[in-house]
Structure 1
Amino acid sequence: MDGLLINTEDLYTLVTNEILAEFGKGPITWDVKIQLQGLPGPQAARKVLDHYQVPLTLAELEEKSVVLQHKKWPTCSFLPGALDLIRYLHSNNIPIALCTSSAKHKYEGKTGHLKQGFELFDVIITGDDPRIPPGRGKPFPDIWQLGLKQLNAKFNTEIRPEECIIFEDGLPGVAAAKAAGAYVVWVPHPDALEVLGDTETVLNGKGEVLASLTHLDKAKFGL
């Protein structure tokens, strides 16, 4: 969701930079940022605290972040091609699941004004879903495995992982998608491309990189 469907990764960056500036740190750079994308919130926060040596506890950082984030969530919007793709898949009766590392309350804060797209998902799994074991967020595949399980249960189907396309924007998510056994469509943030290095080696023949969802070749996948 974040950074793939909606522009919240940029908002996360703004919030992080505001907090870092309080302590004369930052701004956050993309060599650090790419390590955070897609991670569960506490893991990402710990990496920020450790890297920038910010004198806050996880709880204190979360408290500051929540206040600033809640002011920004109503301004977030769909990224190019995202809403069109969701609508296209839905109108063609292709099962779609949203599997986000965001906790449920953050998901609701980000998407409350964007229901025209998010209400079209058949299954929505958030990062704090109790069915995901502790410590098994992305880059582990559990959230994607749960999403597929719920799709199959809803439609009484037996869709296999290798029949799925997983769309991701960050390294942890790409690792999770590969581990789940799906084909990965990786859409990195434009600024991330400069520091990602050899993306083909990362994908290892199990996916492709797109500059934007608008570049997706639906015919290639029989869509």
Structure 2
Amino acid sequence: MSGPAPKSDFPPIRACLFDMDGLLLDSEDKYTICTNTVLQKYGRPPLPWSIKAQLQGRPGPAASKILHEWAQLPVSQEVFYAETKDLQKIHFPDSKPLPGVEKLLGDLATAKVKGEKAGKVHIALATSSHEANFKLKTSHLEELFTVFSSDRRVLGDDQRIAEGRGKPSPDIYLLALQTINSSLEPGEEEIRPEECLVFEDSVPGVEAGRRAGMRVIWCPHPELRKEYTGKEEEVLAGRTGSGGEVDMHLVGEIKDGWGEHLDSLMDFPYAKYGILVQG
């Protein structure tokens, strides 16, 4: 028996919500370098992508717990975290935009919504990075991040996100949408979740977007993509189980049309999402 036909009558996208690490910046590779340096120090093998896939997108404490349980290091989680953090202070300031990111953000800064709700496309950031790490990764890229106004940047240590409700829970993306809706121009109609497009590289992040009732672009690292060969549709539906059994009624269905996989953010298909780019 075949499932329901994919939805095709989506409204135009009015808001684009972005993850950061591994999606906008190559900072995920910096995490790997720092982690592997400490693992090697204690005679442990490099971090495999099967484990890294579980870490991506999650808040620091949750990721650290998963990593430490796998690594079985002869030092405490706190020592490992401290040593890794010292290395991150060296490597994070070298973070660079990934291919297509500068053009995509530049285009969206002046883009319009197609159709009866024609207006500007709104943009917000929703990253699990805490403020200190965010500054390390972005202080040298201030011009790139000007598209995200300060009130539309939701970071991992935002007090409005309840403890334990980081990605893959939907809270961070719902909050990002809230920051947009609370600052719309007079007369602008409130943006609904189905009018939002989430950009993610991680599997927990895709699940967070789907649980928020939003459409999702999954643009993973090539090595992460290999880890999920044959399971792409489960990822796009948010049904990989990375969030456990909580809120499973909020995830999507296989091939329901709400998610799309892209190899990179270059040549983004704006028209498909009802986005009109200037020029």
TM-score normalized by the length of structure 1? 0.97
Deviation at 1:83, TM superposition (A): 1.4
The one-letter amino acid of 2:88's match is Q
User: Does structure 1 residue 117 correspond to structure 2 residue 144?
Assistant: yes
Match of residue 30 from structure 2 = 11
Q: Which of 119, 122, 128 matches 1:101?
A: 128
More helix by share: 1
Say if 1:2 and 1:9, in contact at 8 Å, map to a contact too: yes
What CA distance in whole angstroms lies between the structure 1 residues aligned with 2:126 and 2:235?
Answer: 21
Supply the RMSD in Å over aligned alpha carbons: 1.1
Identify the residue that residue 182 of structure 1 maps to in structure 2. 214
Per-residue deviation at 1:102?
0.5
State the 1:62 CA deviation: 2.2
Q: Which runs of 5+ in 2 are unaligned?
A: 1-19, 112-119, 237-253
Q: Which of 86, 108, 117 does residue 67 from structure 1 map onto?
A: 86
Residue type at the aligned position of 1:98: L
Q: Once the 2 structures are TM-superposed, how far is the Cα of residue 149 of structure 1 from its aligned partner?
A: 0.4
- The answer on 1:51 being equivalent to 2:70 is yes
Residue 65 of structure 1 deviates from its aligned partner by 1.4
Letter paired with 2:107: Y
Alignment of 1:1-223 (within 5 A): 1-92=20-111, 93-122=120-149, 123-156=152-185, 157-197=189-229, 198-203=231-236, 204=254, 205=256, 206-223=258-275
One-letter amino acid matched to 2:259: G
Shift of 1:215: 4.1
Q: 1:196, 1:18 → 2: CA distance?
A: 26
Distance in 2 (alpha carbons) for counterparts of 1:127 and 1:26: 29
- State the one-letter code of the partner of 2:160: R
Structure 1 distance, partners of 2:217, 2:225, is 15
Shift in Å at residue 26 of structure 1? Answer: 1.8
Higher relative contact order (CA 8 A, sep 6+): 2
Q: Is the CA contact (8 Å cut-off) linking 1:49 and 1:56 kept in structure 2?
A: no
Checking the alignment, whether the CA contact within 8 Å between 1:42 and 1:58 is kept in structure 2 is: no
Q: Which residue type is aligned with residue 201 of structure 1?
A: E
SS in 2 for 1:113: helix
Structure of higher CA gyration radius: 2
Tell me the CA shift for residue 73 of structure 1: 1.4
Q: Which runs of 5+ in 1 are unaligned?
A: none
C-alpha deviation, 1:2, in angstroms: 0.3
Q: Choose 159-168 or 193-202, whichever is displaced more.
A: 193-202
Question: 1-side partners of 2:66 and 2:234: how far apart?
Answer: 25
Report the equivalent of 2:243. Answer: none
| Paired letter, 1:158 | E
Percent of matched pairs sharing the same residue:
42
Number of equivalences: 223
Helix, strand or coil for the counterpart of 1:167?
strand
